[in-house]
Structure 1
Amino acid sequence: SLMGRFCGTGKVAVIAGSLGLRDHQDRLEGFRQVAAREFPDLELIGPFEAHDDRGETESFAAGLLRDHPDLRGIYNLGAGNAGLVAALEASSRAGGVRVIAHELSEPTHAGLLSGTIDVVLDQNPDGEIRAAVAGARALALGQGVDPHAEPIEIGIFLRDNLR
Structure 2
Amino acid sequence: AEVAARAGVSTSTVDRVINGRGGVHQKTVALVERAVREIMGSDRTGYLAAVSRLDAILAGDGTEVTRGLAAAMVTAGEAAGARVEVAFVERMNPQALADRLLAVAADGSSGIAVQALDHTIVREALHEIARTDIPVVTVLTDMAGINRTAYVGLDNRAAGRTAGYLMGRFCRNSGKLAVVWGGELYRSHEERESGFRGILRSERPDLQCLEVITSNDDAVMAKARANEAIERHRDLVGVYCVGGGITGVAAAIEEAGLAEKLVMIGHNCNSETKPHLLSGTIDALVHQDIEAIALHAVECIIERRQPPGYSGIPVEIITKENVSR
**Fold match (TM-score > 0.5):** yes
Establish whether residue 149 from structure 1 lines up as the match of residue 314 from structure 2: no
Distance 1:83 1:147, change over 3 A: farther
Which of 1 and 2 has greater Rg?
2
Give the corresponding residue for 2:222.
Answer: 57
After superposition, the C-alpha distances for 1:106-163 in whole angstroms (9 at most, x for unaligned) are: 2210110110000111121211111111111222xxxx63364253232211000011
Give the corresponding residue for 1:95.
Answer: 260
Q: Which of these residues, 178, 181, 184, is aligned with residue 16 of structure 1?
A: 181
How far apart, in 1, do the equivalents of 2:177 and 2:307 lie?
A: 39
Give the corresponding residue for 2:238.
Answer: 73
Q: Which of these residues, 270, 277, 282, is aligned with residue 105 of structure 1?
A: 270
Determine helix, strand or coil for the equivalent of 2:205.
coil
How far apart, in 2, do the equivalents of 1:106 and 1:145 lie?
A: 31
How far apart, in 1, do the equivalents of 2:250 and 2:217 lie?
A: 14
One-letter amino acid of the structure 1 residue matched with residue 182 of structure 2: G
Establish whether residue 160 from structure 1 lines up as the match of residue 321 from structure 2: yes
Q: Which of these residues, 147, 166, 184, is aligned with residue 2 of structure 1?
A: 166
May I ask how many residue pairs the two structures share in their alignment? 159
Determine helix, strand or coil for the equivalent of 1:133.
helix
Moved more, 8-17 or 73-82: 8-17
How far apart, in 1, do the equivalents of 2:195 and 2:221 lie?
A: 24
Establish whether residue 117 from structure 1 lines up as the match of residue 282 from structure 2: yes
Give the corresponding residue for 2:10.
Answer: none
Percent of matched pairs sharing the same residue: 33
How far apart, in 2, do the equivalents of 1:60 and 1:112 lie?
A: 21
After superposition, the C-alpha distances for 1:31-61 in whole angstroms (9 at most, x for unaligned) are: 1111111111111112010100011100111
Determine helix, strand or coil for the equivalent of 2:229.
helix
Determine helix, strand or coil for the equivalent of 2:200.
helix
Structure of higher RCO (CA pairs closer than 8 Å, 6+ residues apart): 1
Establish whether residue 136 from structure 1 lines up as the match of residue 301 from structure 2: yes
How far apart, in 2, do the equivalents of 1:103 and 1:95 lie?
A: 21
How far apart, in 2, do the equivalents of 1:34 and 1:147 lie?
A: 32
One-letter amino acid of the structure 2 residue matched with residue 6 of structure 1: F
Q: Which runs of 5+ in 2 are unaligned?
A: 1-164
Distance 1:125 1:97, change over 3 A: same
- TM-score, normalised by the number of residues in structure 2: 0.47
Q: CA RMSD in A?
A: 1.5
Distance 1:69 1:148, change over 3 A: farther
Determine helix, strand or coil for the equivalent of 1:24.
helix
Q: Is the 8 A contact 1:95 1:117 kept in 2?
A: no
How far apart, in 2, do the equivalents of 1:151 and 1:24 lie?
A: 18
How far apart, in 2, do the equivalents of 1:105 and 1:58 lie?
A: 19
Determine helix, strand or coil for the equivalent of 1:116.
coil
Q: Which runs of 5+ in 1 are unaligned?
A: none
